Amino acid sequence: MRKPLDTQIEFWRNKRVIVTGGAGFLGSFVVEKLQNCQTAEIIVPRSAHYDLTHIQAIRALLADTSIAGQPVDMVIHLAANVGGIGANRERPAEFFYNNLMMGTQLLHESWRTGIAKFVAVGTVCAYPKFAPIPFKEEDLWNGYPEETNAPYGLAKKMMLVQSQTYREQYGYNSIFLLPVNLYGPRDNFDLETSHVIPALIRKCLEAKEQGADHIVAWGDGSPTREFLYAEDAAEGILLAAERYNDSLPVNLGSSYEISIKELLEMIARLVGFNGRIIWDTSKPNGQPRRKLDTNRAQSFFDFESKTAFSIGLRSTIHWYKNDRGGLRSE
């Protein structure tokens, strides 16, 4: 965990912050960075106590965290109902409804109760299926998202509309960030709900341990993806929370693009799996390419990813070998 700057500590020292999803994958890194910045109070609501799909629970959370009628200073909204292609195909209605209800109601109630700033974290899945490469924020509305994750992407994208309209009508300070595919230690390695990197790491390791002569992967391996190390993403979110005060959407990425075929071959090599890779082309590929333009993040709040992909991937594999657990976002 990188040491915070003195200016960061000065900014956060007196802040009280709610981090939804703070017990999950990305959220755990955000919370650690807030702790390192000596944040006055970090509140991580758990879904067992506050089901954020219900407005009564949101109101209860904001009331319970107020002191003498004063609300917290900021909400960083990371909570999401997420999953890979398989989970998105099986539960599209859940992914749409739950994410829409959490985001729009929480932002509205944060404005209504006088919370000074709202940080909405969206998803690269909001981009059109065939957006020009690299994805630029101004292309967000130039087409429909890739079908397998469109309900999730569109639900999250509504926070952008809400952020912009609430700023226009009410002068409310909310921001909207678009992280690319994340990876790193503490990710969710459940094959039913995980994203591509943890799923492939687990498949390769289990195949090696069981002496299997092959593994089966979805699609044909041709799609490309950009990946951002979770600790870097957390740093970008906090930089934006400190320095950015506008409702233009901002990408968070690494500018490193790799095909799924190359990714799987790299993981197999790193874990020592020497068997065959069989591509099941009856399964969907997902979006053909994902690569972000990251100029806004660098220009608006001086964010650049720090972790080389090869180093981050090794770190993720090492963590999984020694943990065999994984965290789910709340």
Task: Give the C-alpha separation, 246 to 250, whole Å.
Answer: 10
Q: Is 303 helix (H, G, I), strand (E, B) or coil?
A: coil
- Beta strands at 224-229 and 257-259: parallel, antiparallel or unpaired: antiparallel
Q: Which residues have C-beta within 8 Å of that of residue 263, sequence separation ≥ 6?
A: 196, 197, 200, 225
Task: Give the C-alpha separation, 23 to 209, whole Å.
Answer: 30
Q: What share of the chain is helix, strand, coil (3-state, %, to 5)?
A: 45, 15, 40
Task: Give the C-alpha separation, 172 to 191, whole Å.
Answer: 40
Q: Let me know how many helices (H) and strands (E) the chain has, helices first.
A: 11, 11
Of 127, 152, 229, 256, catalytic? 152
Our answer to whether residue 256 is catalytic in this structure is: no
Residue 128 DSSP one-character state: B
Burial class (CB in 10 A: 0-12, 13-18, 19+), 270: middle
Q: How far is CA 184 from CA 119, 195, 208, 221, 253, in A?
A: 22, 11, 21, 21, 14
Distance of CA 263 to the CA centre of its chain: 20
Residue 43 DSSP one-character state: E
Tokens at 10, concatenated: 């000065």
Active site residues: 152
